[in-house]
Amino acid sequence: MAIVSEDPSQPCYDIKSADLSLLALLLKTTDISAVALALKQQLAETPAFFEQDPVVVDVSALGLEADQTLDLSALMAVLREHQLVPLAIKGAHEALLAQAKGLGLVDATDARIRRSVPLEQPSAPETAPAPIVAQPATVAPWGAMVIDKPLRSGQQVYAKGRDLVVLAMVNAGAEVIADGHIHVYGALRGKAIAGARGNTQAQIFAQVMEPELISIAGVYRTSENALPKDVLGQVAQVCLQSGPDGDKLLITALKS
Do 141 and 102 reside in the same domain of the chain? no
Establish if 103 belongs to a structural domain. Answer: yes
Quote the pLDDT of residue 118. 41
Quote the pLDDT of residue 233. 94
Domain boundary among 69, 86, 107: 107
- CA dist 108 and 90 (Å) reads 5
Quote the pLDDT of residue 120. 39
3-state class of 10 per DSSP? coil
Residue 163 contacts residue 176 (beta carbons within 8 Å): no
The total of structural domains in the chain comes to: 2
Other residues' Cβ atoms within 10 Å of the Cβ of residue 166:
28
Which residues are CB-contacts of 3 (< 8 A; sequence separation ≥ 6)? Answer: none
* Torsion angles phi and psi, residue 228, rounded to 5: -60, 150
Establish if 116 belongs to a structural domain. Answer: no
Do 246 and 167 reside in the same domain of the chain? yes
> pTM here?
0.54
Quote the pLDDT of residue 163. 94
- CA dist 64 and 92 (Å) reads 8
Residue 183 contacts residue 171 (beta carbons within 8 Å): no
Is the sign of the CA dihedral 25, 27, 28, 34 positive or negative? Answer: positive
- CA dist 200 and 10 (Å) reads 42
Which residues are CB-contacts of 55 (< 8 A; sequence separation ≥ 6)? Answer: 22, 23, 24, 25, 79, 84, 85, 86, 87, 88
Beta bridge partners of 183: 165, 205
Do 183 and 239 reside in the same domain of the chain? yes
Do 141 and 83 reside in the same domain of the chain? no
Do 89 and 167 reside in the same domain of the chain? no
- CA dist 40 and 81 (Å) reads 10
Quote the pLDDT of residue 256. 61
Give the rounded distance of the alpha carbon of 114 from its chain centre: 11
Quote the pLDDT of residue 7. 60
Quote the pLDDT of residue 210. 96
Do 68 and 177 reside in the same domain of the chain? no
Establish if 130 belongs to a structural domain. Answer: no
- CA dist 197 and 168 (Å) reads 25
C-alpha atoms less than 13 angstroms from C-alpha of 243 in its C-beta half-sphere: 10
pLDDT tens-place values along the chain, 256 residues long: 555 556 666 677 888 777 666 778 899 999 999 999 988 887 776 666 677 788 899 999 998 888 888 999 999 999 999 888 999 999 999 999 999 999 999 998 888 775 544 433 334 444 444 443 333 333 334 578 999 999 999 888 988 889 999 999 999 999 999 999 999 999 999 999 999 888 899 999 999 999 999 999 888 898 888 898 999 999 999 999 887 777 889 999 987 6
